[in-house]
Amino acid sequence: MGMIDTALALVFGDGRNVVRDTVEVFRANAEKTAGRDATAREQAMVQFGAEFAVPRKGRFDRFMDGLNRLPRPALALGTLGLFIAAMVDPVWFASR
């Protein structure tokens, strides 16, 4: 048994796994990678939670937020209206 133990100790190391250590040089440890990924996701969620944790707004702030959302749809609908006006009466559209 002494010779077999010596050969196994040479291949697998004394109390450690040389094969695993060698493979980890070329391929990442899946369990440790999953742990690092989970930690990164948890930290990202904490950061997002802190970013979007805003206090309740008053009436004026909510009104202004709603008012600031109007220009883009108004411009889009106005452009569509101009397209329709150009198709309905091209002479009127050209004179404008």
**Cα–Cα distances in Å, from 27 out to 10, 30, 48, 51, 95?**
22, 9, 32, 36, 71
* C-alpha dihedral (66, 68, 69, 75), degrees to nearest 10: 140
Q: Is the model's pLDDT at 87 over the cut of 70?
A: yes
Same domain, 12 and 44: yes
Q: How does residue 86 score in pLDDT terms, banded at 50, 70 and 90? A: very high
Same domain, 36 and 71: no
> What's the CA gap between 21 and 5, in Å, rounded?
20
Q: How does residue 13 score in pLDDT terms, banded at 50, 70 and 90? A: low
Same domain, 49 and 95: no
Model-wide pTM > 0.95: no
Same domain, 35 and 82: no
Question: Domain range spanning residue 36?
Answer: 1-53
Same domain, 38 and 10: yes
